[in-house]
Amino acid sequence: MRYAAFMILLFVALATVHHASGQTASAPAASRPAGKFAIALSVATEEGKKNLVATVTRDDKPLEKATVVFFVRRTFGNLELGHDETLDDGTAAIPFPSTLPGGATGTLHIITELRGPLASYGIRAEADFPGAKVMSTANPEYPRALWGPHAPWSLIAVIGTLLAGAWGTYAYVVSQLIALRKVAAA
């Protein structure tokens, strides 16, 4: 018991000394760059192909040579679709991901962010666009299998037999204990 108390006190003392000696300097807060940034998202058809287009502006003027990254929101995070550098008119484009599943409505939630030195300022835009693969919401009938929600009948029979044998053994022991008690009482 003394050893455990000693170790706890030693740990607390070391943690206190380490914290006091490790003076941390706070980083200066990042200031926003001069100007107002904006990203506008749209879908454009060019040469028969749909494209996602991001138009980046700074003070309502097109921003040239900025790297724009396109994402689509998925269940467990954002999936990167690609990136492009803006042209002199401030636009960056990638092909529209029409083969991705978009749920029951076929809608994708697209997110764009700026990369490079401007990435630290959190400049991003989000929008929903239809045109993805529509996924059926109807539940298919699953077969009785180990990977399905319903177990196969053979597995149910084996487990049921094992459980019946175990509970039968318990019942037999209890009946024998009751019989012994009656014999001892007589």
Please give the pLDDT value at position 79. 93
pLDDT, tens digit, for every residue of 43-92?
Answer: 999 888 999 999 999 888 998 988 999 999 998 999 999 999 999 999 99
pTM above 0.85, yes or no: no
Percent of the chain with pLDDT over 90: 47
What local confidence, expressed as pLDDT, does residue 154 receive?
Answer: 93
- pLDDT in the model for residue 148: 81
Residue with tokens 């954002």: 78
85, 71 contact by CB (below 8 A): no
The set of residues, in sequence order, having a beta carbon less than 8 Å from that of 91 and lying 6+ positions away, is: 53, 54, 55, 56, 62
pLDDT of residue 43: 93
DSSP 63-94: PPS-EEEEEEEETTEEEEEEEEE--TTSEEEE
The more confident residue out of 144 and 120 is: 144
Residue 1, pLDDT score:
62
C-alpha–C-alpha distance, residues 133 and 107, integer Å: 8
Predicted local confidence at residue 106, as pLDDT: 86
Lookup: tokens for 146:
């180990």
User: What's the helix, strand, coil split of the chain in %, to 5?
Assistant: 30, 35, 35
Which band of pLDDT confidence, cut at 50, 70 and 90, is reported for residue 24? very low
**49 with 134: CB under 8 angstroms?**
no
pLDDT digits (tens, 9 = 90+) for 3-23: 666 667 666 666 665 554 444
Mean pLDDT of 119-145: 80
* Burial of 53 from C-beta contacts in 10 A (0-12 / 13-18 / 19+): buried
Q: What is the pLDDT of residue 40?
A: 92
pLDDT, mean over the chain: 83
Cβ–Cβ < 8 Å for 108, 72:
yes
